[in-house]
Amino acid sequence: MEHKDQMPEVVRLTIPFGRGRLDACLSKGNLACVLMPPISENPNSLSEEDPLRLALDHPIDSKPLEEWVRGKRSMVIITSDHTRAMPSRQTLPLLLQRSRKANPDLHIAILVGAGNHRPMTKAEMVDKFGVEICARERIVQHDSQDTAALVKIGALSSGNELWINRVAVETECLVAEGLIEPHFFAGFSGGSKSVLPGIAGYRSILANHCAEFIQNGQARTGNLDGNPIHQEIVEAGQLANLSFIFNVVLATDGTVLRAFCGNPRGAHEEGVRFVREWFTVPRVMADIVLTSNGGYPLDQNIYQSVKGMSTAESCCKPGGVIIMVAACQDGHGGDSFYSHLASAATPGELHRRTCRRERHETLPDQWEFQILSRILANHPVILVTALEDPGVVTAMHMRPARTIDEALELALRMKGRQAQVVVIPDGVSTLVDGPPAESGEERKS
């Protein structure tokens, strides 16, 4: 019988999952490291709203918000939908109060930049914006496929025709709030991403997310230079006359670390510099990589969970296993996303076929199944989920698990008992340093 002092030491893990967390245990001998950003906790000793007010008092490369709205009759504030952690209950009241104090007669509309996502439910809107804003303000939900609600405002340098929501075109002052964090093909979220894809037309979004751009080696997490998707996003903001942004960076507990406002390009670049400084971790390669989407709202479906998987991919050795922890209470997240994976003979076959599609042939959700099929062609993925039907997971060429312990046991059986595990508790907010493990091509074995 093994003595207690001979038992392997155990490391206890806790990973975000939905609105809570899941716990697990891992032998210390298997743990390579836990990759946590240097500023995962909020060090602000002041109240949470102070970074917001400070940013509005000191706009970057721009006159203050109050000066933008003086003398104007109308203003539109683009905000994000239920799939983003933007703390609109705090930010929107500040934008509304300051604008109306400077111009009491200003007509304001809040435009939900949903991109191609489904509309928000009433309950989701109340949860996101609060009862008072939902009751008193004019809130318009963008529908990218409602052609009557779209206006063509020009063409981007790629030739992509830019159609955006009519409400944004007809206002005299266009403002956007947003969240800056690493993004798995746009480089970073925030900035003019509120316009494209936020309030853009269906075809404009598809062209921006085409196979050629997704496959481009510069279209990756944390990179803006030479990124064709980011370039179109910047051009879209300029064409739409986006005047002023109010962007935030969040700690892993959801509180505001820093805010950046002012010029859409200058303020966004300052925010990106902050994220790079405080959310970058060294790239450590391992046989197994365990990660999550940081819990709700980004782990609502399998579609969104691809973001965390792409971070895990950058630390996963060839043939290594990815364990993705995501509640997925909203299901797979997209009919086209699901059906293309479920009908594919193999992920590699789907990836090769998708990469050959021309820009004008871009399909709904194509970017998501293009990236996931690339990941699956190189790495088995175990999805720890609350989905009632595990058949959805297996149909998409992944392995389902109910607990992290179950997933770790399966992964260790696949890679051997001595396999090393890298843990990235929040795969969305964490920026892995160094070149990506994948060039965008499927590995040749």
Whether 183 is a known active-site residue: answer yes
Helix axes 347-355, 335-343, angle to 10 degrees: 120
Q: Which residues of the chain have pLDDT under 50?
A: 1-4, 45-46, 436-445
Residue 171 CA neighbour count, 13 Å, CB half: 26
The predicted pLDDT at position 47 comes to 52
Q: Rg of the Cα trace of the chain?
A: 22
The predicted pLDDT at position 189 comes to 97
Catalytic residue among 183, 230, 332, 351: 183
The predicted pLDDT at position 103 comes to 98
Nearest to 173 by CA among 98, 73, 262: 73
Nearest to 333 by CA among 363, 368, 288, 309: 368
The predicted pLDDT at position 388 comes to 87
User: Can you spell out the DSSP letters for 88-100?
Assistant: HHHHHHHHHHHHH
User: Can you spell out the DSSP letters for 409-422?
Assistant: HHHHHHH-TT--EE
Q: Please check whether residue 221 is in contact with residue 184, taking contact to mean a CB–CB distance below 8 angstroms.
A: yes
The predicted pLDDT at position 124 comes to 96
What is the DSSP code (8-state) at residue 5?
G
Nearest to 367 by CA among 393, 324, 337: 337
Domains of the chain, start order: 4-35+282-432 (3.90.226.30), 50-278 (3.40.50.11440)
The predicted pLDDT at position 2 comes to 43
Give all strands (DSSP E) within 293-415, no chain letters: 316-325, 381-384, 399-401
Distance CA 330, CA 386 (A): 10
The predicted pLDDT at position 440 comes to 45
Q: Please check whether residue 163 is in contact with residue 203, taking contact to mean a CB–CB distance below 8 angstroms.
A: yes
Catalytic residue among 82, 117, 268, 351: 117
Whether 117 is a known active-site residue: answer yes
* Token pair belonging to 350: 């789907």
* Token pair belonging to 118: 């489904």
Nearest to 382 by CA among 283, 300, 286, 312: 312
Strands 381-384 and 280-281: unpaired
- Kindly tell me the burial class for residue 405, based on how many C-beta atoms sit within 10 Å of its own C-beta (0-12, 13-18, 19 or more): middle
* Residues present in the chain in total: 445
Cα 327 to chain centroid distance, Å, stands at 16
Q: How far apart are the first and last CA of the chain?
A: 44
In the 3-class helix/strand/coil scheme, how is the chain assigned residue by residue? CCCHHHCCCEEEEEEEECCEEEEEEEECCCEEEECCCCCCCCCCCCCCCHHHHHHHHCCECCCCHHHHHCCCCEEEEEEECCCCCCCHHHHHHHHHHHHHHHCCCCEEEEEEECCCCCCCCHHHHHHHHCHHHHHHCEEEECCCCCHHHEEEEEECCCCCEEEEEHHHHHCCCEEEEEECCEECCCEECCHHHHCCCCCECHHHHHHHCCHHHHHCCCCCCCCCCCCHHHHHHHHHHHHCCEEEEEEEEECCCCCEEEEEEECHHHHHHHHHHHHHHHHEECCCCEEEEEEEECCCCCCCCHHHHHHHHHHHHCCEEEEEEEEEECCCCCCCCCHHHHHHHHHCCCHHHHHHHHHCCCHHHCCCCHHHHHHHHHHHHHCCEEEECCCCCHHHHHHCCCEEECCHHHHHHHHHHHHCCCCCEEEECECCCCEECCCCCCCCCCCCC
